Amino acid sequence: MHLAHLKEALLSSYRSHGGINHLDGVNLPSQASVNQLAADCMHLLFPGYFEEPALTAGELPQLVDRLLVQIDRRLVAEVEKCLRFSQEAEPATRARELTTTFLARFPDLRAIIKTDVDAAFAGDPAARSVEEIILAYPCVLAISLQRLAHVLYGMKVPLLPRMITEYAHERTGCDIHPGAQLGTHFFIDHGTGVVIGETATVGRNVKLYQGVTLGAKSFEVDNEGKPIKGVKRHPDIGDDVTIYAHATILGGDTRVGAHSIIGSNVWLMKSVPDESVAYFKGDNLVIRSRRKKESLVGNTGELVPGHDWEI
């Protein structure tokens, strides 16, 4: 097809399928700018790890000055675009306020993120140093940027939090929604294929392996058949839980109790009590108490010595 004909065909397509055009509207946040913002934030969180030349303690104040100026300027601009998109009043003033509040959270966020690095080092016998964890483990990027995006999500900034976590998703294969609430000392081993939904909560000292899904069982819909936004759809994971590779846990009313272990490939849509083990025995799912040689029988969770609950 001649280029002139192709041009006319495309222009006709833009008129016919306008839902995927954005013309004559507000200036949307720039993906390239947001990606750079995410990268700059990682430099600010982990100074000396991602700079090409070695960084000395004497050079640190200058680096922090430069990064803060870059992040501040870029973030104000991108947040203002997001607020104009949502038609918020006085977007420029509000963007300035939100950016200042967000940047003030960095010291506290660094303290939390350090617990994630510590958990990765303690939880993986293959790790030889903290430096290896920060430089080479995808969970550091995925969890750190989710924690930053979660702050913006809590401030009700549209678009930007999801764009930040999608940068991490693209880089690591870990898809953690900015709305998810993550406890301290969180470790995702290997990482690829992990999905954590918007309304999921994850307790302290939780370890996930690759391919784990904390997802929705079903969607509530309105009278027009459209999903209702903002309802609890994703599970709650208690403290000190380990979930092995490719386990799938679904539903907003599903809770994995503290100190539990969920085995590989388990499909779970019902809550399990504290100190449980869930695994497959043949084709059947067994949920067993870790406290004694007891298993959970039926929906009541009654403990019966020496009995396996197979469903």
pLDDT digits (tens, 9 = 90+) for 58-108: 999 999 999 999 999 999 999 999 999 999 999 999 999 999 999 999 999
Q: Both tokens of residue 77?
A: 């601009």
CATH of 26-173, one of 1.10.357.10, 3.90.1150.10, 1.10.3130.10, 3.30.750.24: 1.10.3130.10
d(CA 7, CA 3): 6
**What percent of the chain clears pLDDT 90, i.e. is strictly above it?**
84
Q: How confident is the model at residue 1 (pLDDT cuts 50, 70, 90)?
A: low
Angle between helices 91-104 and 60-85 (to 10 degrees): 140
Sequence ranges of the chain with CATH classification 2.160.10.10: 193-311
Give the pLDDT score at 222: 80
Give the pLDDT score at 291: 80
Reported pTM: 0.91
Largest CA distance in the chain: 78
Q: What is the pLDDT of residues 103-127, one digit of tens each?
A: 999 999 999 999 999 999 999 999 9
Give the pLDDT score at 267: 96
With a CB cutoff of 8 Å and minimum separation 6, the contacts of 52 are none
Specify the higher pLDDT residue, 132 or 309. 132
Sequence ranges of the chain with CATH classification 1.10.3130.10: 26-173
d(CA 230, CA 280): 34
- How far CA 117 is from CA of 56, 104, 124, 192, 205, in Å, comes to 22, 22, 11, 18, 12
Q: What is the pLDDT of residues 134-175, one digit of tens each?
A: 999 999 999 999 999 999 999 999 999 999 999 999 999 999
The CATH fold assigned to 193-311 is UDP N-Acetylglucosamine Acyltransferase; domain 1 (2.160.10)
State the chain's mean pLDDT as an integer. 93
Is the per-residue pLDDT at 218 higher than 80?
no
Specify the higher pLDDT residue, 89 or 1. 89
